[in-house]
């Protein structure tokens, strides 16, 4: 099926891929895996969508479909490897995939999401990556009313984590190194704010949290934040620092704490997340830009100068 792209979110991973900071970048490259648009053509076997439907495409456009992960709705963990929306290859292993900084994309219907007409589409686009990246792990660990959840880092991922955790009924604390972010954190739904550079504030929340969702991609000490977890507490890692982190064993064993990682979500769960957002009126906080502004947007992202996700208006590419 062919989707005319209307908006595409700008993920921090786009910068890494464009600059080949993770290695293995495939050029020429068309980034973008936070895609919303409208179906303009469907093939003869398409049953789930029709022309005119709103649709979304996230971080992958195919997978092996046969491994235990794919069959259980965890395509993002495909044993063969999911086929990335861009900077990857189709299943033939030869044809490059191209993403959402473009006017159209063709995707198998089984890897396309239904998008509600209820929400502003620019705010929906980042849900396809930033949204599911935070929704999935919070659901996986069963965050519920009364749980004490801390979100480390208020950016594209962190602001969605705050929205989701608070909507699930948790008592949410924002952990940030930027005092200027306190007001925003509370507007987004955080109940408390702790300045991580303030030792006194940090000491008041030691052994406190059931869950910490760690969104930070810059180098930082995991041990500092593990000490904030209560007995059986869990740190969920979704940020990707450039170098491996050190994790002292005592910080884990003394309170039976754990660290887990999480990667986006499968198609079924991503659809669940989009439906939940439509019901709860949850979208990302975005700054809409023309495609010609992308280089400036990258530079601003590196300075954390965006609240909280850039989204490209793809009509600017058509004009």
pTM of the full structure: 0.96
Tell me phi and psi for residue 19, to 5 degrees. -95, 5
CA dist., res. 308 & res. 273, Å (int): 19
Token pair for 144: 């519920």
Please compute the mean of the pLDDT values over residues 41-69 and round it to a whole number.
97
- Residue 319 above 80 pLDDT? no
Those residues whose C-beta lies under 8 Å from the C-beta of residue 129, and which sit 6 or more positions away, are 9, 11, 13, 33, 34, 58, 59, 264
Write the pLDDT tens digit of every residue in 101-134.
Answer: 999 999 999 999 999 999 999 999 999 999 999 9
- Residue 22 above 90 pLDDT? no
**CB count in 10 Å sphere of residue 197:** 11
CA dist., res. 11 & res. 46, Å (int): 30
Output the average pLDDT for the chain: 97
């Amino acid at each position: 099926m062919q989707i005319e792209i209307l908006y595409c979110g700008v993920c921090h991973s786009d910068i890494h891929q464009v600059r080949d900071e993770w290695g293995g970048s495939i050029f020429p490259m068309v980034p973008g895996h936070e895609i919303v648009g409208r179906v303009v053509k469907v093939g003869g076997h398409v049953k789930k969508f029709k022309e005119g439907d709103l649709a979304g495409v996230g971080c992958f456009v195919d997978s092996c479909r046969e491994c235990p992960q794919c069959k259980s709705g965890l395509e993002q963990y495909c044993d063969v490897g999911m086929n990335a929306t861009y900077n990857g290859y189709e299943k033939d292993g030869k044809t490059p995939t191209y993403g959402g900084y473009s006017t159209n994309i063709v995707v198998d219907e089984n890897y396309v999401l239904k998008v509600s007409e209820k929400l502003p589409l620019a705010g929906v686009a980042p849900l396809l990556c930033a949204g599911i990246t935070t929704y999935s792990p919070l659901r996986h660990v069963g965050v519920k009313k009364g749980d004490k959840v801390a979100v480390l880092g208020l950016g594209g991922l962190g602001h969605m984590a705050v929205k989701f955790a608070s909507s699930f009924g948790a008592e949410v604390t924002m952990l940030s190194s930027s005092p200027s972010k306190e007001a925003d954190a509370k507007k987004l739904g955080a109940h408390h704010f702790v300045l991580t550079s303030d030792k006194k504030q940090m000491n008041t929340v030691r052994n406190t949290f059931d869950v910490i969702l760690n969104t930070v991609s810059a180098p930082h000490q995991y041990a500092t934040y593990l000490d904030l977890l209560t007995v059986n507490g869990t740190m969920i890692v979704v940020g990707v620092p450039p170098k491996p982190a050190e994790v002292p064993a005592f910080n884990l064993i003394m309170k039976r704490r754990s660290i887990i990682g999480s990667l986006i979500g499968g198609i079924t769960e991503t659809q669940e997340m989009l439906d939940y957002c439509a019901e709860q009126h949850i979208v990302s906080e975005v700054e809409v830009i023309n495609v010609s502004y992308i280089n400036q947007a990258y530079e601003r992202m590196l300075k954390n100068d965006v609240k909280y996700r850039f989204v490209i208006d793809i009509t600017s590419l058509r004009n």
